[in-house]
Amino acid sequence: MKIHNHLILTFGTALMLFSCGQQNQNSNGALSSSAAEKVYVAPGEQDEFYAFLSGGYSGNLTVYGLPSGRMFKEIPVFSQFPTSGYGYSEETVPMLNTSHGFVPWDDLHHPDISQTNGELDGRWIFVNGNNTPRVARVDLSTFETAEIIEVPNSAGNHSSSFITENTEYVVAGTRFSVPVPQRDMPINEYKGNFKGALTFISVDPEHGHMAIKFQLLMPGFNYDLSHPGRGKSHGWFFFTTYNTEEANSLLEVNASQNDKDFIAAINWKKIEEYVNNGGGTKMPAHYAHNVYDEHSHTGTSTMRKEVLTVDPTKVPGAVYFLPTPKSPHGCDVDPTGQYIIGNGKLSADLTVHSFDKMIAAIEGKKFDGEAYGIPILKFEDVLAGQVKSGGLGPLHTEFDGEGNAYTTFFISSEVVKWQLGTWEVLDRKPTYYSVGHLMIPGGNSRKPFGKYVVAMNKITKDRYLPTGPEMEHSAQLYDISGDKMELIYDFPTHGEPHYAAGCPAELLTTNSKKIYRLDENRHPYAVTTADGSKVIRDGNEVHVYMSTIRSHFTPDNIEGIKVGDKVYFHITNHEQDFDVPHGFAILGQNSSELLVMPGQTKTSVWEPNEVGVWPFYCTDFCSALHQEMQGYVRVSPANSNVELKWSLGE
């Protein structure tokens, strides 16, 4: 069915009327209740939940408290971060290496917390890089990026990074199908020639280390979002698709022709068995695998040379298509694993598939044709029900663990609560404005913590003081502990949050690492005692082994450095007290300052290009004598005979 102009006009008119109606509402309505009490966290008290919001085009992950909405931390993942020196220090530069070279940015969309038996376990959080396809693992004991793996044969790593219920795999599904392997070919030969890669990355159950197990090379559709089966559907993974037309131009029209697109149901257990028995084809590839070692405080980058690919038609019974109206975005599975929700952006209704009916249809071979050799199940045979009059533009659904689902509607700017099984709409609340995704802590697991829902809105106008054409995005917090949702708070969010993950704070606080033990520091340039500080020349390279402690550097005066030298400052923080980092910066440093955690070692490179006496200092206020925490480097001409020497207190 084609989308006609009058339908587009109807949607547009509805949006304008709805937005105008919202703007005329009393914006202070939430303050007339006890909402302020529900979000107030008194001085010295702590939030009940951690919320991890994707930073979108910031390339980083942000950490907020709920219900306060306070931002606690920005975790650098794919982007350089001068605050800590991530991506600038010699130890972290390798983390941003790719097959395309050093890429200091990405578009981070979808965080997902590790699980055991379908419940959040709080060990790691996985996030995706959408632009240069990558998946990262953040260690939740340190809140630092521990590993990044590049995904070959992929483009637009969007249906990522979602995990199976025992964290066996994290998936990375391509948004843009491309030639596999990449080659020079006409774009108008897209149909039938481009492929979509669904990559299953195994996760070591003890250490979390990632490795690409296999890539499923699918038809050249766009693969949008995904979620794993759980409970009875464990062993399956579900991906929404759009552009089943395989259009390559003006997709807003040409990729909206079909009445139904698909949810791809992937039996990864069956494919895993096939691969373990020697199935699949090894394909040459070139991709980076970057790992940060917590003990050496150093990242390393390794280039991988091949990947195992699987043709879905070679594994009968492993892949099926579930017809789903229309251009579905979110693909969400309820806590029981029974219901698979397809959020069709251009559908008037919300479609819910039944896992039991899907299995029965597969066993009964109730197919409605095939696409590229993959069976298409009959829509009526897998349909559990439809949510009528949900709203306009459904995007994403999460669950409260009490038999209720919550769906965002982008066009009508609202969150809608409905009941699983009866498909009855129970409540709806407006958002301000154009809500994308939402998050209930644990809402995509077997055990949601259904107290709050966070709506992540795309348009911020008239919610906050204007700050020019660009404003931070807006999140809104709803109390869902009662029968009706209650809007209780607005707070700005950094970058463009697409998705979020949340968990109880108590899941993380007991394992939080407060310091790095100095006696466990295995950095090759670590200085574990001040007496070990030294300066060594090797040709035109100079290595400064430096220690810091409140409130001085050792050494604090260095002479004998020459123009043209490459000076490596290896700085070890000797503090063993929580939350006492030390910073380091030197005049003319053309990378960034460093922020060195207690017991940690980091390295900054400085290349002086003129003679003089150049100060360095601590950038993080650490004591009453912080201003006195400084030193000097004397730089002499390149042909100078000034002796290399260093001192403290002379």
550 in the same domain as 482: no
Tell me the two tokens of residue 113.
Answer: 């917390």
**Mean per-residue pLDDT of the chain:** 94
Please say whether the beta carbons of 507 and 51 come within 8 A: no
Closest CA to 527 of 467, 592, 572, 496: 572
pLDDT digit string, tens, across residues 193-213: 999 999 999 999 999 999 999
> Among residues 472, 490, 510, which one ends one of the domains?
510
Question: What is the mean predicted confidence (pLDDT) over 27-41?
Answer: 73
564 in the same domain as 491: no
Look at residue 512 in the predicted model and tell me its pLDDT. 94
Number of H helices, E strands in the chain: 7, 46
Quick check: 7 pLDDT over 60?
A: no
Where is 319: in which H helix or E strand? strand 319-324
371: Cα separation from own chain's centroid: 32
594 in the same domain as 552: yes
Omega into 555 within 30° of 0, i.e. cis? yes
> Residue 225, SS3?
strand
pLDDT digit string, tens, across residues 100-155: 999 999 999 999 999 999 999 999 999 999 999 999 999 999 999 999 999 999 99
Q: What is this structure's pTM?
A: 0.94
How far apart CA 443 and CA 451 sit, in angstroms, is 10
Alpha-helix runs per DSSP H in 495-602: 506-509
Residue, of 392 and 478, whose pLDDT is higher: 478
561 in the same domain as 628: yes
Tell me the two tokens of residue 650.
Answer: 């002379």
pLDDT digit string, tens, across residues 347-398: 888 999 999 999 999 999 999 999 999 999 999 999 999 999 878 899 999 9
Domain count, the chain: 2
524 in the same domain as 497: no
Look at residue 389 in the predicted model and tell me its pLDDT. 80
CATH of the domain at 487: 2.130.10.10
Tell me the two tokens of residue 439.
Answer: 């998050």
pLDDT digit string, tens, across residues 506-562: 999 999 999 999 999 999 999 999 999 999 999 999 999 999 999 999 999 999 999
Q: Return the amino acid letter for 38.
A: K
Look at residue 31 in the predicted model and tell me its pLDDT. 52
Domain of residue 486 covers: 49-510
Question: Would 184 be classed as within a structural domain?
Answer: yes
304 in the same domain as 157: yes
Q: What is the DSSP string of 231-243?
A: GGGTTEEEEEEE-
460 in the same domain as 434: yes
Question: Would 626 be classed as within a structural domain?
Answer: yes
